[in-house]
Amino acid sequence: MATVHNWQLGRKMDYPYLDSRPKKQFTAVFNTNRCIACQTCTMADKSTWTYSRGQEYMWWNNVETKPYGGYPQFWDQKILQILSDEGNNPMEWFTSSEDKDDKKAPYGYYGGDTIFELAKTKDLNQVAVGYIPEDKEWRFPNIYEDTAVSKKTNIETEPVKEYSQLPAHDRWFFYLQRICNHCTYPACVAACPRRAIYKRKEDGIVLIDQKRCRGYRKCVEQCPYKKPMYRGETRISEKCIACYPRVEGKDPVTKGRRMEARCMSACVGKIRLNGMLKGDPDNPDPKNPMDFLIRIQKVALPLYPQFGTEPNIYYIPPRWVPRAYLRQMFGPGVDEAIEKYSAPSREMLAVFQLFRTTQTMISRFEIEYGKKVYETRTNGKKFEVFDDTVIGYAEDDTELVRIKVEEPTWESSDKRMITY
Ligand code: SF4
Ligand code: SF4
């Protein structure tokens, strides 16, 4: 085992391979607050990559309703139970106000064992703890859709409340969008006895070499997110490939520039922004929208960082969900992220406008400042909106998009009015 630094855990950890971060890392920010679970992303991915025999059950992109939904069923509940190791591995975080701005530990320090460390602690003959889902657990990509959890009330003594209000609803659910996280320390790479899985140096995309894979399913077992899938027809495993030909700029539409993945560019709810994160976590680029949202503003958080794989898909947490549940899912940065999202800074509000405005990856943004158009109070604090203009640029500095915070409106002339 090598010792590597995991910035999401705020500490070093054990991993079978040496640290080898890509210069740029494929990444995305998903805004859970905006998702409508239309599954357009899911179908876009399915119709692009997984339409052949043996792939029927494969959903490389899926959107599940939390807390009950999951694909495969109960994937996160099961791995959390294994990781807690019957209470012997408290998944605790230690934070102090001094830690918070430390780039090496932006969320504080994770004190429990990761999936890799627990396998070592328990002296297992494998690199990470995990399990292979039963066939029946892959049956439904979207079971328990829109099923809410309710606060238990004793109807004998308490009146049943049929309303909810922020900051956390008593009755709640939310949509969790999931693809492979193209992790910095992928469990699938670590687990593969054939060394058939690799992480690309140029963009951090994790791929399975179909010629080397022998279908041992160690990746299926040890990826905590359950994103590699076994194909019975070919007897080898497959996974999300981050639409790498598009990311390489091979699609003629973007004229050689990096293009967003299919599930991202199809998103109807405009919840997804796909781009490249600067590889060096200690020196984020304040003009790169991904670095800005993830590492500088910390409004977008990793999914189950305690697993230890340093996942590279980030989530703006849902505002209405009880915080304890969210802290378990996204770590201790949840409260700060929700506070920032609820009353975004001038720059953040401008960057939010870039979501789903172009298929070409935006690598830099600039803001032209405009006049104040609105003022209110949110969570007891003044919140101002300015009609700023945000400009998105490609890697080669071509201007891709120019959009105002205040959406322009036009009033139809009276002649167009229909009168009865
Ligand atoms: S999410 Fe799973 S399959 Fe994807 S890179 Fe991470 S460990 Fe590998
Ligand atoms: S396309 Fe976008 S809004 Fe629709 S389910 Fe997917 S992530 Fe959600």
Q: What is the pLDDT of residue 396?
A: 97
**265 and 188, same structural domain?**
yes
183 Cβ below 6 A of ligand 1:
yes
**351 and 337, same structural domain?**
no
> What's the 182 CA to ligand 1 centre distance in angstroms?
6
Owning domain of residue 299: 2-342
- Would you say residue 415 lies in a domain? no
Cis check: omega of the bond before 72, within 30 degrees of 0: yes
**392 and 360, same structural domain?**
yes
**368 and 240, same structural domain?**
no
Residue 214 has pLDDT above 90, yes or no: yes
Q: What is the pLDDT of residue 34?
A: 97
pLDDT tens column, 323-348: 999 999 999 999 999 999 999 999 99
d(CA 94, CA 225): 24
Q: What is the pLDDT of residue 416?
A: 75
**165 and 194, same structural domain?**
yes
Residue 99 has pLDDT above 70, yes or no: no
261 Cβ below 6 A of ligand 2:
no
> What's the 315 CA to ligand 1 centre distance in angstroms?
16
Q: What is the pLDDT of residue 259?
A: 98
294-300 average pLDDT score = 97
Which of 76, 183, 241, 314 is the pocket-test mutation for ligand 1 (most atoms within 8 Å of CB)?
183
Cis check: omega of the bond before 167, within 30 degrees of 0: yes
Nearest to 114 by CA among 326, 331, 309: 309
pLDDT tens column, 100-146: 567 788 999 999 999 999 999 999 999 999 999 999 999 999 899 99
d(CA 63, CA 267): 12
Cβ-based neighbour number of residue 371 at 10 Å:
8
Q: Tokens 């019975």 map to which residue?
A: 232
Domain boundary among 308, 327, 342: 342
**98 and 222, same structural domain?**
yes
115 Cβ below 6 A of ligand 1:
no
Q: What is the pLDDT of residue 198?
A: 97
- Would you say residue 409 lies in a domain? no
> What's the 327 CA to ligand 1 centre distance in angstroms?
21
Cβ-based neighbour number of residue 103 at 10 Å:
14
**358 and 336, same structural domain?**
no
Cβ–Cβ under 8 Å, residues 172 and 149? yes
Q: What CATH number should be reported for the domain holding residue 197?
A: 3.30.70.20
Amino acid at site 331: G
187 Cβ below 6 A of ligand 1:
yes
Q: Which two tokens stand for residue 355?
A: 């979501």
- Would you say residue 413 lies in a domain? no
What is the separation of C-alpha 20 from the centre of its chain, rounded to a whole number of angstroms? 22
Q: What is the pLDDT of residue 407?
A: 85
Atom 4 (ligand 1): residue with closest C-alpha?
180
Residue 116: its H or E element = helix 115-121
- Would you say residue 308 lies in a domain? yes
Cβ–Cβ under 8 Å, residues 301 and 384? no
Q: Residue 224 CA: which ligand is closest?
A: 1
Q: What pLDDT band is residue 199 in, cutting at 50, 70 and 90?
A: very high
Q: What is the pLDDT of residue 11?
A: 95
38 Cβ below 6 A of ligand 2:
yes
- Would you say residue 52 lies in a domain? yes
Residue 263: its H or E element = helix 262-265
Domain boundary among 342, 361, 377: 342
**185 and 318, same structural domain?**
yes
Global pTM?
A: 0.94
Query: What average pLDDT does the chain have?
Result: 94
- Would you say residue 150 lies in a domain? yes
**361 and 288, same structural domain?**
no
DSSP string for residues in 65-108: EETT--SSTTHHHHHHHHHHGGGTS---EE--TTTTT-TT-TT-
Q: What is the pLDDT of residue 98?
A: 60
pLDDT tens column, 383-417: 999 999 999 999 999 999 999 999 888 888 877 77
The total number of structural domains in the chain stands at 2
Which of 29, 40, 71 is the pocket-test mutation for ligand 2 (most atoms within 8 Å of CB)?
40
pLDDT tens column, 181-195: 999 999 999 999 999
- Would you say residue 302 lies in a domain? yes
Q: Residue 208 CA: which ligand is closest?
A: 1
**351 and 335, same structural domain?**
no
Residue 86 has pLDDT above 90, yes or no: no
Residue 263 has pLDDT above 80, yes or no: yes
Q: Which two tokens stand for residue 187?
A: 């469990």
- Would you say residue 420 lies in a domain? no
Rg (CA), the chain: 22
d(CA 102, CA 300): 17
**354 and 336, same structural domain?**
no
**327 and 373, same structural domain?**
no
Least confident of 91-95, 335-339, 364-368, 410-414: 410-414
Residue 87 has pLDDT above 90, yes or no: no
Percent of the chain residues topping a pLDDT of 90: 84
